[in-house]
Chain A
């Protein structure tokens, strides 16, 4: 049980914060919430003990005994009743005020806050960084204000970060916002707090607070797939990130565009009547000039998407890896990848995700997760089973290992 010393500690220590009642924390805002929590706690404890003590004393002192009747006393006492109405009014007014001012600290983000979008979906969180990179974990720099804009693709979810004492609903059809400034480096759990169905309790992620400079390094590595992954893996990731998956399937079914399955090395009949072989140059040309060589039976609706030369090479490697004709060493390289982290390894995650079948219409490029694409090596996949995480826990993202 916490003591009065704990209350002092809450005030004096900017870090730590783990107690019998509250989990570790990582922000000044959280420290103020904790202070308010303990203020209410001690006031409540006082009144609880007062009532129970009076109750016990009366029951013992005035217990029914033979020959002894109730003693006369007044039925009401205005000064006493005003006192026990007035004192609680003053106390709850102070509670209201502390709670309100603490809440306002969370309400409006500063102008220069780093902006991250949060997308809730059955049953995973996605965090989109300003450069368009999407990750399953929330990575942030230490001591920098971060603002979150939340949305949901299906039902209501609620982003809950106990270490920040922060919770905000992700509501479909509208945006909600929140912000925080983490001040302690570490890894902390993120949970879904609004009931959302089968795997509600598995909708977990991590908050990774990076030391100074660490966040920028992480983001660059994570975003720069080519430097951190094998070409096949990077190509697969690009397939999702760049939106290819919206039109080109991997299972042989024709979508808005032709499937990528077994594309490499096949002969393709073009709308112009030409017959070509889908080789490296064909793929390169199709990416750089989408309207140039349109496959017969399809509309020329593919937009021009920016790809660098390295990215094009990765795409070619990826398409080769899923084509019978192209299954050369590249595919093996992917299977025996350097970072054998199982995809979507959050414990209890169902093997087949019911939500994964129906991709949202608004087209989050990375809608699918590891569970949808087995064998993918994810950067920072969720493993947040430990709610009360060691504050000194590794702040190094998995990306650094993947880099190998």
Chain B
């Protein structure tokens, strides 16, 4: 313990030790690295590049919808653009996003370990992602795909567009997801630091653990389904296509058996991020630790049992509909519990509005809307009216963008000093967060109204009375893009001009902050000992270094 105190007490400038970024140079040192931190950074750059591609496609979609009829592209092009937007954002960005980049970077350090359990598998996972992404680019070069990201049969088995390259790409990316999941599960079981029992783990690790369970168990079903889809197109096997004796609804069952749990692959890591950030910036112990931990596991188990709620109007039996509706409401409860716990954590805190916390508060606001609008869709009779309309589009963007992307941004701003050893401009960060928050709401809130008024999704032409909503939405999208440009510029600027970051700028107790910023290749000089990850009583702010240092425990301070 005293060992650690002296260790983190040093100013970072005084350290002559090479960090993980500087200890080896050259392209090869990155391409063949087994260091989880470098793999995390490679993932970060790659998924952000995908996000840029998906974002440009989103702006094209929004631009086309500025007017009720033809604006800048034809109907077939529009269909390809929205399909690629969905496929890129889902499979290349948001599923691998947080686990691949943030998860890889922080998980071993949070455990107090040198690396993940299987570093080579970790690198393989990155290359699987890369190969899958290349297939997607090939599909774009071949003219794109127009099925929608859901690849519903028999449309996907009969269209002339490049379905097979995209499906092969998604199939390969599935392995990247499975490898990451296996790595995280084994790491969490076997590599925890001395003193870190299951209920001493940071909640981020619980969230990543729950995510990994889904990645390992659900992704194979997607792989099999996509292989069957290829077989159907190439060999005309007759599983999904009625013309060959197949059943198109079967595809939906298979697809959503993966893809519904997959939305929890997307959102659970975000829950973990928020569970770390809110206590740190409130200087308060997380409220209801066990409830949050258990609710992550509950969500990952229940997520496997609700896929049928995507098919309430497909002709599924009323009994099946009733069961899926009830289970869908069951999965709402653990999410609600988390939101209450996060809010309660701030009670009597000392709340800082540093950039990561601004994003975390934005997350709470937007995820509340995203979650509550899920209640409308879980309700059978209301679902019949709302399904396949813009209401659904708005709902999942509030969860995926308002939830996951806001949390991802929070995470990037939170761990940025650790990743790159630089602080960024707080004011620019806060303004960027505000722009994205306002722009996002302007983009997607009107879509709730369009949807409940009866405008179906994936419409190229739309009735004129929706024009005002669409114009508002598109302007919101442009504002969001401006926000992202500001954030990107501010972060890149910090890499060159930013103030060197102290080891623990925010005053967190999780173990990754006990390494220097940026960490050494081995993370820890000696194995750290874990305590309560949310007890901040031993940390004090040291203005001289602009960060927190450990001080002798002030006993009796916290109940």
Residues of chain A whose beta carbon lies under 8 Å from any beta carbon of chain B:
20-23, 32-33, 36-37, 40-41, 43-44, 47-48, 51-52, 54-55, 58-59, 62-65, 68-77, 80-81, 84-85, 88-89, 92-93, 95-96, 98-107, 154-156, 158, 160, 162, 165-169, 171-174, 176-177, 189, 191-202, 347-348, 385-388
Contact = CB atoms under 8 A, between A and B. Distances in A.
B17 to A, nearest CB: 33
Contacts of A37: 376, 382, 385, 452
B294 to A, nearest CB: 11
Contacts of B350: 62-65, 68-70
14 contacts: A37-B452, A51-B364, A55-B365, A59-B351, A70-B349, A75-B559, A76-B288, A98-B379, A99-B381, A99-B382, A158-B388, A171-B314, A176-B315, A198-B75
Contacts of A51: 339-340, 343, 364, 368
Interface of B: 69, 75-76, 79, 146, 148, 152, 154-155, 158-159, 242-243, 246-249, 282-291, 312-315, 318, 321-322, 325-326, 329, 332-333, 336-337, 339-341, 343-344, 346-353, 361, 364-365, 368-369, 372-373, 375-376, 378-385, 387-389, 449, 452-466, 534, 536, 557-559
Given A52-B365, A92-B332, A103-B381, A174 B465 contact: no
B381 A193 contact: no
A146 to B, nearest CB: 16
B537 to A, nearest CB: 10
A21 B351 CA distance: 37
Contact of A33 (B313, B314, B384, B458): B384
A44 B332 CA distance: 12
Contacts of B339: 51
Contacts of B321: 103
B336 A167 contact: no
B284 A171 contact: no
A100 B312 CA distance: 11
A106 to B, nearest CB: 7
Contacts of B384: 33, 103, 106, 165-167
Contacts of A388: 453-454, 463, 465
Nearest to B451: A21
Given A88-B333, A169-B315, A172-B242, A160 B347 contact: no
Given A71-B348, A177-B315, 10 more contacts: A40-B382, A51-B343, A64-B351, A68-B350, A85-B333, A88-B333, A92-B332, A103-B321, A169-B314, A201-B462
A75 B558 CA distance: 10
B236 to A, nearest CB: 15
B340 A96 contact: no
Contacts of A22: 452-453
A231 B82 CA distance: 48
A174 B158 CA distance: 18
Nearest to A160: B456
B333 A63 contact: no
Nearest to A50: B343
Given A58-B346, A62-B350, A76-B287, A165 B242 contact: no
A186 to B, nearest CB: 15
Contacts of A155: 152, 154-155, 158
Given A37-B376, A62-B346, A173-B248, A200 B287 contact: no
B79 A197 contact: yes
Query: Which of B325, B344, B382, B534: most chain A CB closer than 10 A?
Result: B382
B313 A21 contact: no
Given A47-B368, A387-B455, A73 B559 contact: yes
A388 B467 CA distance: 13
B444 to A, nearest CB: 15
Closest 4 A/B residue pairs (Cβ): A173-B242, A102-B381, A162-B454, A99-B379
A347 B67 CA distance: 14
Nearest to B532: A75
Contacts of B152: 155-156, 194-195
B378 A95 contact: yes
Query: Which of A40, A48, A169, A385: most chain B CB closer than 10 A?
Result: A169
Contacts of A156: 152, 154-155, 248
Given A59-B361, A387-B454, A32 B465 contact: no
Given A73-B559, A198-B75, A55 B361 contact: yes
B288 A386 contact: no
Nearest to A349: B461
Given A48-B368, A99-B383, A167-B384, A201 B461 contact: yes
Contacts of A47: 336, 368, 372
